[in-house]
């Protein structure tokens, strides 16, 4: 029966696509890296992928036809390591990620303090004073006291938190306070008084005092964060360290139907990457929780449990096989006793949980591989995709060992964009040159065993800046670091799409533009395969589509002739 009388729909109309995107340069990122011209989307999935000539006839009278006008399309991008919830904190924290001097930072904090009542906490967003300030150092407690004596201050950096005297007093931290296990209260060398720098587990002494967010605040923060990720073409993310309260917020957002970013969470059961529970309590938790890794759906799932073994190479705390230049006895920081660490990994594995461990230095990576091998002896980890998170200074012998254990690495080459100088300053230029050795990783382990993320907000969320660094090995000042570790543009794209999807065992659902997969894709301003290397970092996202729905539309600033 015809549909023109409104009484019924024809079979063709029932089966017709909701939308057809035509006349594009569509990089499908399938096994052959095929290029298509058009895709048809129906019920949130790709119904057809091919030429405009072949796909357009599928249209029904209600099909929306979108002319891409030759624009380049990629699958939705996947960040395999980002602290998603922190992207929603901008309105609740003092913004310091763009300050360039101690004076400017203190001025920004003073301005923010003026908007608060006496006694309210000043919380900081993520920043990196050593890398971004002209002085190349942390702020001192006395400097913070000078601009906000009446408000406690907590400024996280990543492995460190800077605090003022008010915050130290509230936490009861004095010169007589002992360092907590896995942490350090930095002190004045002359007086022994706390300096206002708290490292690793010591951060919790102050951060545990911060007032919690309401459910509504958490939900709105997550929604804001998702919109920011969508702006950069991200349709999925591995959220790097999700505590129980944040996971509950993700669940509320998912159940409300408002999510615009697929989340697979690396779970931190106690909220800490070095869990403050006994081994018996750790086992009791996993034996009773009743779920394991990869439980969930296409919008929200549990990817594994997250732990930490060392610090960071940009803060002189990465655990190294060899001593640091100028200080051969110092080899970085191991934040957890090895026997305890091995037990945490083994127990999680025993109950079906995949493990991902923050490991930056080569000595730290050795310890993680040791723990994984020990766990494998009890219950095989093969095919389970256990993760080395960062793997920043991984060596070839470790890559070969990881391959034998079937362990993947999820790296963040974008650290080199604005922090390579800090790495070179702490560890030497030769070590900075071998940081994030993506060429070697791909050659030894295989591209599907590797992924890329940003560790946002420690680094820029922009995936095209990250791809630029992977392809050129140049930082923001044009300095070259390790030319032999350059990779191709196709490989860089795959690390954000088809390879990245494997982290959460989602490769049959997302990561490429193929019939039957979810219609996650982005339209970008320029042809990433043709423009000069230097312009990759400037690519803009014109449209982000998740499950067939537009979740972001940007402004076209493309260069004529490059599309």
Residue 562 confidence (pLDDT) above 70: no
Sequence-distant (≥ 6) Cβ neighbours of residue 391 within 8 angstroms? 359, 360, 365, 409, 410, 411, 436, 441
Instruction: Report the mean per-residue pLDDT for the chain.
Output: 93
Q: Which CATH superfamily is domain 307-487 in?
A: Metal-dependent hydrolases (3.20.20.140)
Please give the pLDDT value at position 559.
Answer: 46
Please give the pLDDT value at position 272.
Answer: 86
- Mapped onto helix, strand or coil, the DSSP state of residue 301 is strand
Please give the pLDDT value at position 317.
Answer: 93
Residue 466 confidence (pLDDT) above 50: yes
403-439 per-residue burial string, b: 16 or more CB within 10 A, e: under 16: eebbbbbbbbbbbbbbbbbbbbbbbeeebbbbbbbbb
CA 54, chain centre distance (Å): 38
The pLDDT of 143-163, averaged and rounded, is 89
CA gap 39, 50 in Å, rounded: 6
Residue 225 confidence (pLDDT) above 90: yes
Percentage of residues in the chain with pLDDT exceeding 70? 96
pLDDT band at 558 (very low <50, low <70, confident <90, very high): low
Higher-confidence residue of 93 and 220: namely 220
Encoding tokens for residue 341? 């660490």
Question: Mind listing the pLDDT tens digit for each residue in 541-553?
Answer: 999 999 999 999 9
pLDDT band at 89 (very low <50, low <70, confident <90, very high): confident
Residue 56 confidence (pLDDT) above 90: yes
Which residues make up the CATH 2.30.40.10 domain(s) of the chain?
A: 11-70+517-553
Which residues make up the CATH 3.10.310.70 domain(s) of the chain?
A: 89-207
Please give the pLDDT value at position 9.
Answer: 63
Report which of 502, 493, 426, 429 is spatially closest to residue 464, judged by C-alpha positions. Answer: 493
CA gap 183, 161 in Å, rounded: 11
Please give the pLDDT value at position 5.
Answer: 43
Please give the pLDDT value at position 4.
Answer: 44
Please give the pLDDT value at position 15.
Answer: 87
pLDDT band at 159 (very low <50, low <70, confident <90, very high): confident
pLDDT band at 557 (very low <50, low <70, confident <90, very high): low
CA gap 502, 81 in Å, rounded: 13
Encoding tokens for residue 539? 């690519």
State the DSSP H helix or E strand holding residue 101, giving kind and residue range, or none if neither. Answer: none
The pLDDT of 143-160, averaged and rounded, is 88
pLDDT band at 182 (very low <50, low <70, confident <90, very high): confident
pLDDT band at 316 (very low <50, low <70, confident <90, very high): very high
Please give the pLDDT value at position 561.
Answer: 36
Check: CB of residue 444 under 8 Å from CB of residue 403: yes
The pLDDT of 429-453, averaged and rounded, is 98
Question: Mind listing the pLDDT tens digit for each residue in 95-139?
Answer: 888 888 999 999 889 898 889 899 989 888 778 888 788 888 889
Domain 11-70+517-553: which CATH class? mainly beta
The pLDDT of 295-320, averaged and rounded, is 95
Residue 478 confidence (pLDDT) above 90: yes
The pLDDT of 473-491, averaged and rounded, is 98
Which residues make up the CATH 3.20.20.140 domain(s) of the chain?
A: 307-487
Residue 6 confidence (pLDDT) above 70: no
Check: CB of residue 3 under 8 Å from CB of residue 12: no
Dihedral pair phi/psi, residue 195, rounded to 5°: -85, -10
Please give the pLDDT value at position 2.
Answer: 38
CATH 3.30.2290.10 given to domain 89-207: no
Q: What is the pTM of this model?
A: 0.89
Higher-confidence residue of 94 and 394: namely 394
Question: Mind listing the pLDDT tens digit for each residue in 322-354?
Answer: 999 999 999 999 999 999 999 999 999 999 999
């Amino acid at each position: 029966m015809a549909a023109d009388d409104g009484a019924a729909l024809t079979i063709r109309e029932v089966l017709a696509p909701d939308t057809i995107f035509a006349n594009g340069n569509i990089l499908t990122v399938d096994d052959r890296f095929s290029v298509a011209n058009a895709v048809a989307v129906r019920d949130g999935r790709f119904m057809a992928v091919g030429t405009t000539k072949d796909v357009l006839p599928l249209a029904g009278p209600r099909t929306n036809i979108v002319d891409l006008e030759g624009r380049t399309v990629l699958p939705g991008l996947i960040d395999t390591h980002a602290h998603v919830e922190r992207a929603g904190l901008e309105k609740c924290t003092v913004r310091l990620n763009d300050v360039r001097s101690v004076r400017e930072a203190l001025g920004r904090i003073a301005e923010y303090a003026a908007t608060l009542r006496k006694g309210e906490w000043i919380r900081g967003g993520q920043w990196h004073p050593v890398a971004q300030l002209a002085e190349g150092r942390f702020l001192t407690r006395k400097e913070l006291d000078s601009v906000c004596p009446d408000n406690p201050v907590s400024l996280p950096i990543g492995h460190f938190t800077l605090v003022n005297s008010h915050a130290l007093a509230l936490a009861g931290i004095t010169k007589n306070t002992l360092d907590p296990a896995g942490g350090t209260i930095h002190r004045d060398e002359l007086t022994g008084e706390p300096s206002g720098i708290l490292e690793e587990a010591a951060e919790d002494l102050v951060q545990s005092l911060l007032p919690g967010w309401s459910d509504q605040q958490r939900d709105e923060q997550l929604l804001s964060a998702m919109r920011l990720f969508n702006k950069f073409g991200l349709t999925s993310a591995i959220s790097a360290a999700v505590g129980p309260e944040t996971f509950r917020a993700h669940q509320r957002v998912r159940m409300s139907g408002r999510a615009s970013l697929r989340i697979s969470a690396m779970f931190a059961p106690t909220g800490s990457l070095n869990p403050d529970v006994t081994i018996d309590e750790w086992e009791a938790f996993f034996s009773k929780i009743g779920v394991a890794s990869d439980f969930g759906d296409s919008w929200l799932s549990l990817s594994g449990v997250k732990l930490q073994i060392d610090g960071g190479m940009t803060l002189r705390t990465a655990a190294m096989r060899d001593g640091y230049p100028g200080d051969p006895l110092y080899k970085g920081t191991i934040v957890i006793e090895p026997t305890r660490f091995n037990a945490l990994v083994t127990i999680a594995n025993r109950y079906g949980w995949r493990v991902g461990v923050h490991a930056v230095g080569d000595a730290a990576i050795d310890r993680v591989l040791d723990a994984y091998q020990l766990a494998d002896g009890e219950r095989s980890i093969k095919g389970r995709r256990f993760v080395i998170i960062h793997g920043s200074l991984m060596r070839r012998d470790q890559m070969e060992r990881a391959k034998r254990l079937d362990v993947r690495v999820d790296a963040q080459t974008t650290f080199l964009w604005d922090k390579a100088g800090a790495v070179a300053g702490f560890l030497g230029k030769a070590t900075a040159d071998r940081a994030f050795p993506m060429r070697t990783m791909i050659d030894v382990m295989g591209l599907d065993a590797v992924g890329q993320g940003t560790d946002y907000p420690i680094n820029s969320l922009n995936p095209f800046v990250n791809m630029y660094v992977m392809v050129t090995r140049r930082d923001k000042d044009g300095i070259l670091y390790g030319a032999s570790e350059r990779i191709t543009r196709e490989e860089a794209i795959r690390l954000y799409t088809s390879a990245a999807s494997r982290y959460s065992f989602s490769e049959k659902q997302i990561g490429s533009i193929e019939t039957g997969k979810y219609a996650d894709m982005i339209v970008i301003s320029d042809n990433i395969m043709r423009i000069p290397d230097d312009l990759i970092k400037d690519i803009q996202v014109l449209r982000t589509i998740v499950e067939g729905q537009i979740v972001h539309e940007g402004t076209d600033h493309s260069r004529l002739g490059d599309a």
